[in-house]
A and B are shown apart, each in its own frame.
Chain A
Amino acid sequence: DQQVKQNSPSLSVQEGRISILNCDYTNSMFDYFLWYKKYPAEGPTFLISISSIKDKNEDGRFTVFLNKSAKHLSLHIVPSQPGDSAVYFCAATRPGGATNKLIFGTGTLLAVQP
């Protein structure tokens, strides 16, 4: 059962334009969400997160939006840069349990074309 889904395996965007990466989840108990970026031969790097008590969190060029009723979140990158080309993973967790394990989606490969 895939509790966190990223239905777009890949996305190609022109430099300077907006990149929108989407993520859906099925478990309503999730209340903290994270985005990680992964370059080849490196581990995932934390990018931005959002708590379920918010619907938006912004950090520089990166903004995450959360729609709890739709169980959907998205990551917006504006403006996109070639260095943003990487695999982006959405992850969810349930703080307050014995283990803050992260449940990951399958990732979206973003290619930013110069």
Chain B
Amino acid sequence: ETGVTQSPTHLIKTRGQQVTLRCSSQSGHNTVSWYQQALGQGPQFIFQYYREEENGRGNFPPRFSGLQFPNYSSELNVNALELDDSALYLCASSLESGFIQYFGAGTRLSVL
């Protein structure tokens, strides 16, 4: 069974640029959630995708957007990067009805 994988592991961008992060869900999982973890904080929910549609969104501006593909993999896109976007971005997959989410190792984004 393949777990959740994320790429890249690290990324450095400058303010104003755009970034795309990628996630492959655990085998058999059809729901993908994205979280942002700032230093010293717990993960914060960005949004969730199910059946290729956004299925709930946290308190993040529209410049955070995503996609889910037919194979359940997902992308997180962030436009007009700000310094405060520097964080660990975590992807988690689950079954539609499942309460337990399984996380990838994350992508560490640094915005300079």
Contacts and interface: CB of A to CB of B under 8 A. Distances in A.
Given A34-B99, A95-B99, A106 B56 contact: no
A42 interface: yes
A101 B56 contact: yes
Contacts of B55: 98-99
Contact of A44 (B41, B58, B90): B90
A104 B42 contact: yes
Interface of A: 4, 6, 32, 34, 36, 41-46, 49, 89, 91, 93, 95, 97-107
B32 to A, nearest CB: 12
Nearest to B6: A43
B12 interface: no
A89 B42 contact: yes
B40 interface: yes
Interface string B51-89: 000011010000000000000000000000000000000
